[in-house]
Amino acid sequence: MNGNAVKDDLLLTAAGVEIEAAGKDARPKISVVAYTGRIMRVPGWGDIAIDLAGLEAGGQVPLLADHNATVGSVVGHGEPAVANGRLMVAGVVSGAGEPARHVVEMARGGFQFQASVGVAPTEHERVKPNQSVEINGRSLSSPGGFTLVRKGRLREVSITPLGADAETSVAIAASRQGRTNMADIAHEDQIRADERDRLKEIELTCRPIFAGGSERDWGVHQKRVDDMKAKAVAGDMTVSELRAGVLEVLRASRPVFSGVITGGGSGHIPRARVIEAAILKRAGFAALAEKALGPACMEAADDLRVAHTLDLCRAALQHEGIDAPADREGMVRASLTTHTLTEALGAAVNKVLLDGYQESPATWRSFAGVRSVPDFKTATAIRPSFTGSLQQIPPGGEFKHGGADEATTQYKVDTYGKMFSIDRRDLINDDLSLFDSVARAMGQAAMRKLSDLVYDTLLSNAGAFFSAGNGNYITGADTNLSTDGLTKAITAMLTQRDAEGNDLDLRPTRLVVPPELQTVARAVLESEYIAAQTNLPTGNSLRNAVGLEVEPRLSNTKKYGTKASTKHWYLFAAPAASPIIVGFLNGQQTPTVEFFGLDQTVNKLAVSWRVYFDFGAALCDPRAAVRSKGEA
């Protein structure tokens, strides 16, 4: 078989070996932490994990000296056990040969042994990059993917004087013996290719980007970079952790600048804000930039004389004392490691996204109460009209508790989100259309999703919220949207009373209709006169009685099915009356934008952002809302 064949056995350097001294006639005990249950890095192979649930580890296993499978090299024997997601081997020194005596004598002298654990894999699979797998009581994933050994057999444990790395929790060596088929060869080729890509990425990350391009250009930080590189190659540090460490070194080594002094005498303007203004202006958002950042910042951005997006990359590098690489690719990669450009890009994206969010209509805000919740657990909201009235307390009397069985409603928030990115080619090609086509669209999509949830909650009518029993659902020929129909709805709300007959002082403030009824609604609310029978007043008594909202979702049968209607219409009290409530995590009423930097995924060269939004909605106080069927 050629040298590229995959062998069956893996030799794992154990996390720890303890050899306890014993009495004159007792055998010394050996304890080995064989495998901690996590992902292990194999130089030349990539990441590997073993599912202990599929590992055959029963019965006695031999404890050998240096993997020498002869009778004279037996040091002892042990019993394996899986506990708390780890593989342990406990045994005794039972060998009668020289190797056993050497191990005992050296242990008494204080020598710290290590152990290699031999595992024969019988079933394995490839886990995709960033895919999580639940094994050994934990969730495991790797940016570059890893090999998962689903089934295997524990063969032996060897006592060794030296392991692969004394400081790692688990290090792996690979034993090459036996035969396999072409599928295994292809599997190894994939593992080797992944490892080559990983090592190449490590080299690129650690390459100096100062002037000169030589290793010595890291200056006083060279040893720190070399140490991080060695750890990354050995698998003790992920590529993402390496990037973060190198970026920290880069920031620590750059000169300090005081900011930009504008000609207008406005004081110091951080360079990141100036570049942010230039980005927004070049992307077509000059008005937004001036409104958010001010005219002085815009003047400083004009002074940069940006003719191409690469000019922004060069400005960021120059500000941080980094010589810009001559090639465009190198300039983009280098600039995206700077704090200046990443901060400017992140802030610009955030402003465009929030502008799109705030620009989108939100008709529900005119009648929905807003709540803040501290977590994702089910929360409880008070129905204001159900709290009852105060009772007179006589001198020395006792206060009584009010009932809360019907006075509350429950709701919870969930997370909604999406990723988007700017490819490095967009910067090279001077293409910032993403700010309009994606960032603004993401902001608008966030508001649409929130409004979708609010109106889906309203239309679903959970728990017969709108019903004759609650006195907030009107039907019949006279409930079409008209002066008579609106009068009936207003009367229904004004005459709401609690169980004790107390008036609740609810006042309708908002009429909400589908687009098909907006013309009729405006006529009812805005006309000075109405057609009336002879000798009856013609003045419109309902003119400006309530505000008007037109909501397309009310009649969107394609999205909401039979719940939607072109005939139904709604009347609501003020948001404080809480006819419906909208909850936000920690009161955050806008989406959160997080920047993830360059190359967060190995299969894409781009800077990425994550947008997420935590919110929920629920029907709350039925007395503060009226629904009309709108037809007989």
Domain count, the chain: 5
For residue 52, count CB atoms less than 10 angstroms from its CB and return exposed for 0-12, middle for 13-18, buried for 19 or more: buried
Reported as a pLDDT band with limits 50, 70 and 90, residue 154 is confident
Q: Which residue has the tokens 């020929």?
A: 477
Do 570 and 421 fall into the same domain? no
In a domain, 398, yes or no: no
Do 61 and 139 fall into the same domain? yes
Domain harbouring 445, CATH code = 3.30.2400
DSSP label of 308: S
Q: How far is 104 from 597, CA to CA, in rounded Å?
A: 53
In a domain, 331, yes or no: yes
Strand 61-65 with 146-160, pairing:
parallel
Q: Residue 7: what pLDDT?
A: 41
Q: Residue 509: what pLDDT?
A: 95
The percent of residues in the chain predicted with pLDDT above 70, rounded, is 77
Alpha-carbon Rg of the chain, whole angstroms?
A: 36
Stretch among 90-99, 286-295, 458-467, 579-588 having the lowest mean pLDDT: 90-99
In a domain, 402, yes or no: no
Q: How far is 484 from 490, CA to CA, in rounded Å?
A: 10
- Which residues fall within 8 angstroms of residue 501, CB to CB, at 6 or more apart? none
Are 317 and 323 in contact by the 8 Å Cβ rule? The answer is: yes
| 631 has pLDDT over 90 | no
Mean pLDDT on 216-236: 76
Q: At what angle do helices 295-303 and 271-282 cross, to 10 degrees?
A: 80
Looking at per-residue confidence, does 177 or 132 come out higher? Answer: 132
Percent helix / strand / coil, the chain, rounded to 5? 35, 25, 35
Mean pLDDT on 330-347: 82
Do 92 and 169 fall into the same domain? yes
In a domain, 1, yes or no: no
The token pair that represents 283 in the structure block: 């992307």
The token pair that represents 239 in the structure block: 């590529």
Are 588 and 599 in contact by the 8 Å Cβ rule? The answer is: no
Looking at per-residue confidence, does 26 or 169 come out higher? Answer: 26
Do 102 and 179 fall into the same domain? yes
Q: How far is 200 from 203, CA to CA, in rounded Å?
A: 5
| 332 has pLDDT over 70 | yes
Do 39 and 186 fall into the same domain? yes
Do 478 and 560 fall into the same domain? yes
Mean pLDDT on 365-388: 85
What's the angle, vertex CA 126, arms to CA 129 and CA 164, rounded to 5? Answer: 85
Q: How far is 559 from 592, CA to CA, in rounded Å?
A: 27
In a domain, 393, yes or no: no
Each residue's pLDDT tens digit, 408-445? 889 999 999 988 777 767 777 766 776 667 788 888 89
Domain harbouring 508, CATH code = 3.30.2320
Which of 335, 339, 419, 423 is closest to 606 using CA atoms? 423
In a domain, 348, yes or no: yes
Q: Which residue has the tokens 């050899």?
A: 19
Do 51 and 186 fall into the same domain? yes
E-state strands within 141-263:
146-160, 171-174, 260-261
**For 612, how many CA atoms within 13 A lie in the half-sphere containing its CB?**
9
Looking at per-residue confidence, does 231 or 191 come out higher? Answer: 231
Q: Integer distance in angstroms from the first to the last C-alpha of the chain?
A: 86
Q: How far is 338 from 342, CA to CA, in rounded Å?
A: 6
| 2 has pLDDT over 80 | no
User: At 382, is the secondary structure helix, strand, or coil?
Assistant: strand
Q: How far is 382 from 404, CA to CA, in rounded Å?
A: 9
Do 62 and 108 fall into the same domain? yes
The token pair that represents 212 in the structure block: 């000169």
Q: Residue 579: what pLDDT?
A: 95
Q: How far is 208 from 323, CA to CA, in rounded Å?
A: 11
In a domain, 279, yes or no: yes
Length of the chain as a residue count: 632
Q: Residue 387: what pLDDT?
A: 61
Mean pLDDT on 368-378: 92
| 16 has pLDDT over 70 | no
Looking at per-residue confidence, does 43 or 95 come out higher? Answer: 95
What is the dihedral sign for C-alpha 110, 111, 112, 115? negative
Average pLDDT, the chain: 78
User: Which backbone phi and psi does 239 adopt, to 5 degrees?
Assistant: -65, -35
In a domain, 505, yes or no: yes
Reported as a pLDDT band with limits 50, 70 and 90, residue 510 is very high
For residue 496, count CB atoms less than 10 angstroms from its CB and return exposed for 0-12, middle for 13-18, buried for 19 or more: buried
Compute how many other C-beta atoms are within 10 angstroms of the C-beta atom of residue 129: 14
Which of 560, 565, 484 is closest to 517 using CA atoms? 565
Q: What separation in angstroms does the CA of 50 have from each of 37, 88, 142? A: 7, 14, 14
The token pair that represents 404 in the structure block: 């809360």
Looking at per-residue confidence, does 558 or 399 come out higher? Answer: 558
Are 274 and 280 in contact by the 8 Å Cβ rule? The answer is: no
Q: How far is 570 from 630, CA to CA, in rounded Å?
A: 10
**For 420, how many CA atoms within 13 A lie in the half-sphere containing its CB?**
20
Each residue's pLDDT tens digit, 591-630? 988 776 655 554 455 667 788 999 999 999 999 999 999 8
Q: Residue 166: what pLDDT?
A: 36
| 136 has pLDDT over 90 | no
DSSP label of 6: P
Do 58 and 106 fall into the same domain? yes
Containing structural domain, residue 238: 207-253
Do 624 and 499 fall into the same domain? yes
Q: Residue 247: what pLDDT?
A: 78
Each residue's pLDDT tens digit, 22-70? 555 567 888 887 778 888 765 445 678 889 888 888 778 888 877 677 7
Q: Residue 279: what pLDDT?
A: 87
DSSP label of 438: I
Reported as a pLDDT band with limits 50, 70 and 90, residue 549 is very high
| 177 has pLDDT over 70 | no
Q: Which of 322, 343, 359 is the last residue of a domain?
A: 359
| 554 has pLDDT over 80 | yes
Mean pLDDT on 547-560: 96
Do 335 and 270 fall into the same domain? yes
Q: Which of 148, 171, 194 is the last residue of a domain?
A: 194
Do 22 and 154 fall into the same domain? yes
Looking at per-residue confidence, does 17 or 578 come out higher? Answer: 578
The percent of residues in the chain predicted with pLDDT above 90, rounded, is 24
| 267 has pLDDT over 50 | no
Looking at per-residue confidence, does 326 or 16 come out higher? Answer: 326
User: Which backbone phi and psi does 49 adopt, to 5 degrees?
Assistant: -135, 150
